Copies of this chain bind each other. A is one copy, B any other.
């Protein structure tokens, strides 16, 4: 019987263990999806976003695509004109095409206006962006809110440019249209929601950003297949900043009423150290869960202050909005050398990296789903031996699961949630879930409330 405890443990929680088969399959599919999405030219508006969402909808058929017209007022902002790129390149004095967006989307400054021009190298240089300190990387540059044009290239290429006449060709359109985003709602027993936001506005970069929407897609797929969802789920795929502001301007009250825990999914694909970016006050349920998962996964994870924020938590956690949205990441945006350059590619982001992070999010979801408050059903310790849950020979060393069950019983005081008990015991909550189940089955504890 005591052996069975561990056994049951393993069977039931299979999906939450490292290296399980489901996860292995998902990891490969995530990397394949990222590879497919990589060449699409996403920006904060335009067809690149639509194409991307279309692809995700093949995996998540319930995904709803929304369009919001240019010029719509969203809080302090208004939706900008829609930008689409056909192609852009430079022809050098020798007639050779360089800086071609057909080769790499990063060559064009995002939201560049259309132009056809012949000009001297010196004049051209005023429109070229490079990274002198990373001479073989093409930087990622945008100008959403001021009309201009420009190209990006490696500093090595820049330094090799010869004097002479250059032809610039930018075939873009910048005109009234709409901003596009995707939204997936998965109903559960309660209308209270777990909220996941990720963004789809960066062209041809892997950790920031494709790892985000790719992981969110497979997390949503896993949630959809879960039976007995206690909570409802909402996944949104939006352009960063203007997208979250737009989404909040349309859904603020609903989110404030329904959100049980919120996550901003970004930078979840490389294999370096884990990172945590808290909500503004760092005390949301997602904060507690992320801290627990990371402490039990990678004790040396990097814990950032909210001052290091840089993604859509800037909007979700802003005063008056006050949604507690936090991020579990690998290498945090702005903090890794490949960030916002052509080096942030699909060698940096791996199937294993994506899979590890997906597992962390699955564990987070599992904890929240089971994060109840229990109370012991009897006064004093129960006689576990007569239930086959305790060794009958005194002085023997207690099996780990027995010790854990005795500790759970000691802390089920009607005040602590499963997560809090796990923190007191300093063991992963996902390993305690099956032990709580055994104690429930033996009627030694009873659930008295949901957490929160």
List A residues at the B interface (Cβ < 8 Å).
75-77, 110, 129, 139-146, 148, 241, 244-245, 248-249, 252, 280, 306-307, 309, 314-315, 317-322, 340, 375-376, 378-383, 385-386, 392-395, 406-407, 409-414, 424-425
Contacts and interface: CB of A to CB of B under 8 A. Distances in A.
A379 B317 contact: no
Contacts of A340: 395
Given A75-B379, A380-B76, A392 B145 contact: yes
Contacts of A410: 280, 306, 309, 314, 317-319
Nearest to A150: B393
A41 B275 CA distance: 59
Given A76-B382, A76-B383, A380-B245, A143 B319 contact: no
B386 A318 contact: no
Contacts of A321: 379-380
Given A410-B318, A414-B319, A143 B394 contact: yes
B139 A376 contact: no
* Identical chains in the assembly: 3
A395 B380 CA distance: 62
A29 to B, nearest CB: 31
A318 B408 CA distance: 11
A280 B140 CA distance: 55
Nearest to A312: B380
Contacts of A392: 143, 145-146
Contacts of A309: 410
Contacts of A385: 145-146
A414 B322 CA distance: 12
Q: Specify which of A110, A148, A319, A394 lies most central, judged by the most chain B CB atoms within 10 Å of its CB.
A: A319
A324 to B, nearest CB: 13
Contacts of A317: 410
Q: Specify which of A376, A393, A409, A413 lies most central, judged by the most chain B CB atoms within 10 Å of its CB.
A: A393
Contacts of A148: 393
Given A307-B407, A378-B76, A383-B76, A144 B394 contact: yes
A143 B390 CA distance: 12
